[in-house]
């Protein structure tokens, strides 16, 4: 976003991401903490499916980017982290993630280091 950008926020409840062919592309910012990643991970998988389908068959979906901000106490509590890293590798620049840990005492594994902020 830039200064004066319009954004929409949705907290809790039933939510989903279901773009239709011909819709304008949107850039998503997904924010999760702990087990709250579950519905957002499903959205990321859907976005990956649409990107894969778009690249393979030239569908009519116009997709923006998806940026996930995901926080937990330690990297061991980051659910789906390997899957998320895989999505980032499969769709570079289209799906990105920043993990944040709040109480990590041990060294963060090398694979996660570029994507982790916090203590």
For 16-66, the pLDDT digits (tens) are: 888 888 888 889 999 999 998 999 999 999 999 888 765 656 566 778 899
The answer as to CATH 3.30.360.10 being correct for domain 28-117 is: no
Provide the angle, in degrees to the nearest 10, between the axes of the packed helices 81-90 and 37-57: 20
Structure tokens given for 112: 């996660």
Q: What is the pLDDT of residues 74-84, one digit of tens each?
A: 999 999 999 99
Domain layout of the chain by residue ranges: 28-117
| pLDDT at residue 119, as a whole number | 60
Helix, strand, coil percentages for the chain (3-state, nearest 5): 35, 20, 45
Of 68, 59, 12, which is closest to residue 41 (Cα–Cα)? 68
Calpha distance 44→5 (Å, rounded): 23
Mean pLDDT within 95-115: 93
**Short-list 84, 80, 110, 107, CA closest to 95:** 84
Instruction: Provide the pLDDT for residue 115.
Output: 93
Q: What pLDDT is stored for residue 112 in this prediction? A: 92
Section 97-111 average pLDDT: 93
């Amino acid at each position: 976003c830039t200064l004066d950008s319009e954004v929409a926020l949705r907290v809790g409840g039933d939510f989903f991401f279901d773009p239709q062919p011909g819709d304008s592309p949107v850039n998503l910012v997904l924010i999760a903490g702990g087990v709250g990643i579950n519905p957002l991970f499903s959205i990321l998988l859907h976005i990956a499916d649409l990107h894969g389908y778009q690249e393979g068959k030239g569908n009519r979906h116009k997709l923006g980017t998806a940026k996930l901000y995901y926080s937990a106490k330690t990297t061991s509590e980051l659910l789906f982290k390997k899957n998320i890293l895989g999505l980032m590798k499969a769709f570079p620049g289209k799906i990105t993630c920043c993990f944040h840990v709040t109480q990590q005492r041990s060294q963060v594994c090398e694979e996660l280091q570029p994507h982790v902020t916090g203590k």
